[in-house]
A and B are shown apart, each in its own frame.
Chain A
Amino acid sequence: DTAVSQTPKYLVTQMGNDKSIKCEQNLGHDTMYWYKQDSKKFLKIMFSYNNKELIINETVPNRFSPKSPDKAHLNLHINSLELGDSAVYFCASSQPRLGTSGTISSYNEQFFGPGTRLTVL
């Protein structure tokens, strides 16, 4: 009955490898996100997809490529892993609500997955 799930929970790999992290949500939400939480605990958004379309792409190296096969899944593929990629990666989803003027409201609540701890050796 998990709302937002991620696999794997832990990932240890060597520099230069390519790896993927999977995310699935069963909430019926249209929007999904990937966040990176560094060692100082700051959470920073990396990508956001709405109905399989990329809507936010922060200044993330192009070694990171999100893929959304359908609106319930948003996977993160990382090429040529570097030491600085070590962090906890969180997936989240939300259902944007319409504001009074018909625009997308910023009030939408995000539900986070349990995180994937990536360690690059």
Chain B
Amino acid sequence: KNQVEQSPQSLIILEGKNCTLQCNYTVSPFSNLRWYKQDTGRGPVSLTIMTFSENTKSNGRYTATLDADTKQSSLHITASQLSDSASYICVVITWEGGKLIFGQGTELSVKP
């Protein structure tokens, strides 16, 4: 069964600190993996898109890694800001019709 699991479910950190969010998946056949940021009351916005051959990709203070062998991905946030408070969703896309399989998200709260 195609599944995407994220950990932790929620995380509270102080402003300026770093954090890492985890994503494990059992999706096959794999096409690409995305991390989305969803602010409260808004739709998800894409942060990174990684294909099978990419190990790491950065977008400003966000760095995503992908290990296609172990089927794991992580999203590292450097020097967190209050505006980073949001839900971060890992999404894996299959080759079969480009179907998106969503994780349940990690709720990040950055405190001053």
By a beta-carbon cutoff of 8 Å, the part of chain A in contact with chain B is 4, 40-45, 55-56, 90, 92, 96, 104-110, 112-115
Contacts and interface: CB of A to CB of B under 8 A. Distances in A.
A115 B93 CA distance: 21
A115 B43 contact: yes
Nearest to A104: B98
Contact-residue size bin, chain B (C-beta under 8 Å from the other chain): 20 to 34
Given A41-B89, A106-B32, A106-B98, 8 more contacts: A4-B43, A56-B99, A90-B44, A106-B93, A107-B32, A107-B93, A109-B34, A115-B41
Interface of B: 31-32, 34, 41-46, 49, 51, 87, 89, 93-95, 97-100, 102, 104-105
A14 B100 CA distance: 32
Interface centre among A43, A92, A105, A108 (most CB of B within 10 A): A43
Contacts of A41: 87, 89, 104-105
B93 A112 contact: no
A115 B102 contact: no
